[in-house]
Structure 1
Amino acid sequence: MTDVAKCPASVTTFRSEHGFSNTVARLRGLLADRGMTIFVDIDQADAAAQVGMTLRPTRLIVFGNPKGGTPVMQVNPLAGLLLPLKVLVWEDDARVTWLAIDDITGVLVDGYGVEASLVEPLAKAKALIQMAAERDSG
């Protein structure tokens, strides 16, 4: 599988210019540098191995900043089903590393009734994910 699997239009994927471990390290560093909290980093391949199954390198990183998410959940507590944000990092069969993030801003506005101005800061996460995938300039 060298192409990204089928997913909803709200999901954006980025092909990383780095290997799997370096991509994860870059992503974690960028999130920390931007004041994001990494709430959990789930090694899904390791979880599969613990039950005798194999999965290509795959990590789900759950992250956010309570300054951005809390006002959204104050308006509608059910928004907590979508927050904090999540990014998936995985390696395909060709050993290409990918990152994916689901842009939940539209769902928060249309489905949860949260004002667009409150969810606007959450949309900036996609740029951080893209930065982790890109080659360093210079």
Structure 2
Amino acid sequence: MRKGLLGLFITLLMSFTAHANNGLISIKSSHDVSTTADKLIATLKEKNMTTFARIKHSEAAENVGIELRPTELILFGNPKVGSPLMACQQSVGIDLPQKALISEDEHGLVWFTYNDPNYLKERHNITGCDEALAKIAKALNMFATKATQP
């Protein structure tokens, strides 16, 4: 009973956090932006995930004369993971492949930010895919942890 209540509380807390942050989960990194992105890409490779793109927003901004703190976007995924989710609700394809935004804030702190799968569930009215969503949430958390920790 206590475990059930604790699980419910954690789920509610996570849902509140997702709404408070527009469906984004942000984890502080121990590294600079480039190192965090490198560590993410290495982890994705280890887990047989495909890295589709590494977009260096700050470099692109510099090319047009705009100053932007270090910011990179990594697009990644695996059809074995994303396709079952799209089979439940095809519109979720607009949010796939997965994305990780790695950026430096105005205080010099680096953040690893990604879409909360629970937010995607609500946004796309996904039903019957709780197992796939839980698997994705666990994987995203693991990727973020490996990329941000020393």
Q: Would you say same fold, with TM above 0.5?
A: yes
The whole-number CA distance in structure 2 between the counterparts of 1:107 and 1:27 is: 22
CA contact (8 A) 1:86 1:101 kept: yes
User: For 2:41 and 2:60, how far apart are their aligned partners in 1?
Assistant: 20
Map 1:57-136 to 2 at 5 A: 57-108=70-121, 111-115=124-128, 116-124=130-138, 125-135=140-150
Larger Rg: 2
Relative to the length of structure 1, the TM-score reads 0.82
What per-residue deviation string (whole Å, max 9, x for no partner) do you get for residues 14-36 of structure 1? 11111222111111111111111
Return the alpha-carbon distance in structure 1 between the equivalents of residues 100 and 143 of structure 2: 10
Unaligned segments of structure 1, at least 5 residues: 1-6
Q: Percent identity?
A: 31
SS in 2 for 1:98: strand
Q: Structure 1 75/17 Cα, relative in aligned 2: closer, same or farther at 3 Å?
A: same
- Asked if structure 2 preserves the Cα contact closer than 8 Å seen for 1:40 and 1:63, the reply is yes
CA distance in 2, matches of 1:23, 1:17: 8
Q: Give the alignment's Cα RMSD to 1 decimal.
A: 1.9
3-state SS of 2:125 partner: coil
Match of residue 38, structure 1, among 42, 48, 51? 51
Unaligned runs of 5+ in 2: 1-19
The count of residues paired between Structure 1 and Structure 2 equals 129
Task: Determine the structure 1 residue equivalent to 2:62.
Answer: 49
More helix by share: 2
SS state at 2:83 partner: helix
Normalised to the residue count of structure 2, the TM-score between the two structures is 0.76
Rounded Cα–Cα distance in structure 2 between residues aligned with 1:31 and 1:38: 7
- Per-residue CA distance 1:53-79 (angstroms, 9 max, x = gap): 110110011111110101111222211
Secondary structure of the corresponding residue to residue 114 of structure 1:
coil
2:25 counterpart residue number: 12
Runs of 4+ in 1 over 6 A off after TM superposition: none
